């Protein structure tokens, strides 16, 4: 099977973004930086073209392609957080220095990349045999910005 590597298109912030993500996530590193060669359109010779990096062993590429394309919520990266402390840590780190909150555990970081910070407990609560409890969890989640595990568990346990 061929390798699939997400490529994130930035105007000029590929290296800054890759370094930021490598600070946020454990087991992360920049593996290569390439630069625009002489003679390319746009007078960018010597500037960063691509940055290869890994997040938890998964490869990514960041590309400085110019201002032609921007990110949207149509593509996001989901983080499976093990507990509330991990939800809080990723949430706060990705919002730092200009990110923006959305709803239901979604946010955009300062580069415009969309993330979902989701506790692993959510899937368990939503897929259990008690469909009324799953519905209460879904309704509670729809009212949240950052997901709150204790509140989701309380919604599941509430009398129907």
Domain spans of the chain, in order of start: 1-69, 71-160
Q: Do domains 1-69 and 71-160 have the same CATH topology?
A: yes
Assess whether pLDDT exceeds 70 at residue 160.
no
> Which CATH number does 71-160 carry?
3.10.180.10
Assess whether pLDDT exceeds 70 at residue 37.
yes
Q: From 3.10.180.10, 3.40.50.720, 3.40.640.10, 3.40.50.300, which CATH number describes the 1-69 domain?
A: 3.10.180.10
Condensed to tens digits (0 to 9), the pLDDT of residues 88-133 reads 999 999 999 999 999 999 999 999 999 999 999 999 999 989 999 9
Strands (E), the chain: 7-10, 28-35, 48-55, 58-64, 76-81, 100-101, 106-108, 114-119
What share of the chain in percent tops pLDDT 90?
A: 92
Phi, psi of 96 (to 5 degrees): -55, 140
Specify the pTM. 0.92
pLDDT at 142: 97
């Amino acid at each position: 099977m061929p390798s699939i590597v997400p490529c994130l298109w930035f105007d000029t912030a590929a290296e800054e973004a890759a370094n930021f993500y490598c600070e946020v996530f454990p087991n992360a590193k920049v593996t290569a930086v390439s630069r625009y060669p002489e003679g390319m359109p746009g007078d960018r010779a010597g500037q960063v073209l691509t940055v290869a990096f890994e997040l938890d062993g998964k490869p990514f590429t960041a590309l400085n392609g110019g201002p032609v394309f921007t990110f949207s919520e149509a593509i996001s990266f989901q983080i499976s957080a093990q507990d509330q402390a991990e939800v809080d840590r990723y949430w706060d780190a990705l919002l730092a220095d200009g990110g923006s909150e959305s709803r239901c555990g979604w946010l955009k970081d300062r580069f415009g990349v969309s993330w979902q910070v989701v506790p692993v407990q959510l899937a368990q609560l939503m897929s259990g045999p008690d469909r009324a409890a799953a519905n209460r969890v879904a309704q509670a989640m729809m009212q949240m910005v950052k997901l709150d595990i204790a509140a989701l568990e309380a919604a599941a346990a509430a009398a129907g």
